[in-house]
Structure 1
Amino acid sequence: MASLIASVRAHDEVAGFLARVGDFDLGNGDHGEEVHLASGARLEGFAGDAAGGTFFFCGDGGEERPVLYADSEGRATLVAVGLPELLRLLLVVPWWRDCTAFTAEQSGQLAAEYLADLPDLVADRDRAAAVLGLGLPSEAAVLARLRETVVGLGQDFVLVFTPEGEPYDPLFTGS
């Protein structure tokens, strides 16, 4: 079975969609500052966003590892358990960073803004998911899983700015 990272890289249309809509670029995994996990587990930057944020795999293993996101403002949170879950998040709720209440109502408002700018979003998303072989859950299911990951599992994944020994702030308030 080919890795999802290899599949994204092999399909320019999918990589372009994820970069443009999901703000996810596999060519940009350098965080730019020295960080580590408080637990001492391995941390591997593998993708970034246009604003200087980084997606990290946590621990040992492959694409099934937990994924932590750190922005360029000193905030971080666990956002998915495994690359398939992260890609579903980026495909179904690409506005996840702004969906701080994790509600369908808030997500719907953000979706309307995205769809106004990108009327082909759903069709393009569905094509990308098909190429990657990913089934897409409902928006409500993705938001519930994000909340569960951030509030529950994420407590064990604290990113630390190594030179000062200071932990990053939570990406979502109340998390």
Structure 2
Amino acid sequence: MQSLITAVREQEEAARFLAWPGDFDLDRSDHGEDVHLASGDALEGFAGDGAGGTFFFCGEGGEERPILYADSEGGAALVAMGLPELLRLLLVVPWWRDCQTFTAEESRELAAGYLDDTPDLVTRRDRAATALGLELLPEADVLTRLRDGAVKAGKNVVLIFTPEGEPYAPLITG
């Protein structure tokens, strides 16, 4: 079975959607700062965003590993339990970084701005999901999984700025 990373690289339309509005680029995997997990588990940067944030696989294994997102301002959060979940998040709620309450209502308000700029957003999203073989979940479910994962499972996944031994601040709190 083909990996999802390979599929993203090979599916141009999906890669374009993930790049924008998803702000996810497989060619931006260097975080630019020396970091490690407090647990000592492996940490592997595999993608980034345009603002200097990085997506990391945590622990050993493949694309099913938990994924931590660290921004360039010293914040971090566990955002997905594996690459399929992360890609669903980026496809369904590409504006997740701007969500404060993680409700479907707030997300719809944020989506309105994106839809004004990109009227074919939903069509492009659906084609990208099909190309990657991903079944999309309802927006409310995706947001709940993000919040619950970050707050519950994520409390044990702490990113440390290695030179100072200081933890990154939680991006998502209860």
Cα distance in 2, alignment partners of residues 157 and 117 from structure 1: 36
Cα distance in 1, alignment partners of residues 75 and 6 from structure 2: 28
Identify the residue that residue 96 of structure 2 maps to in structure 1. Answer: 96
Q: CA deviation at 1:120?
A: 0.6
Normalising by structure 2, we get a TM-score of: 0.98
1:26-85 deviations in whole A, cap 9, x for unaligned?
A: 001000010000000000000000000000000000000000000000000000000000
Q: CA deviation at 1:104?
A: 1.1
Amino acid at match of 1:108: R
Identify the residue that residue 36 of structure 1 maps to in structure 2. Answer: 36
Cα distance in 1, alignment partners of residues 10 and 104 from structure 2: 33
Q: CA deviation at 1:20?
A: 1.2
**What SS does the aligned partner of 2:76 have?**
strand
Normalising by structure 1, we get a TM-score of: 0.98
My pick for the range that moved more, 64-73 or 9-18, is 9-18
Cα distance in 2, alignment partners of residues 45 and 10 from structure 1: 20
Alpha-carbon contact 2:11-2:132 (below 8 Å) kept: no
Cα distance in 2, alignment partners of residues 18 and 90 from structure 1: 7
Cα distance in 2, alignment partners of residues 132 and 146 from structure 1: 20
Q: Point out 4+ residue stretches in structure 1 off by more than 6 angstroms.
A: none
Identify the residue that residue 146 of structure 1 maps to in structure 2. Answer: 146
1:77-101 deviations in whole A, cap 9, x for unaligned?
A: 0000000000000000000011121
Unaligned stretches of 5+ in structure 1? none
- Corresponding residue pairs, total: 174
Amino acid at match of 2:37: L
My pick for the range that moved more, 50-59 or 5-14, is 5-14
Amino acid at match of 1:132: L
Amino acid at match of 1:97: R
**What SS does the aligned partner of 1:27 have?**
coil
Cα distance in 1, alignment partners of residues 48 and 92 from structure 2: 18
Alpha-carbon contact 2:67-2:83 (below 8 Å) kept: yes
Cα distance in 1, alignment partners of residues 146 and 66 from structure 2: 12
Identify the residue that residue 7 of structure 2 maps to in structure 1. Answer: 7
Identify the residue that residue 167 of structure 1 maps to in structure 2. Answer: 167
Amino acid at match of 1:15: A
Amino acid at match of 1:74: G
Identify the residue that residue 26 of structure 2 maps to in structure 1. Answer: 26
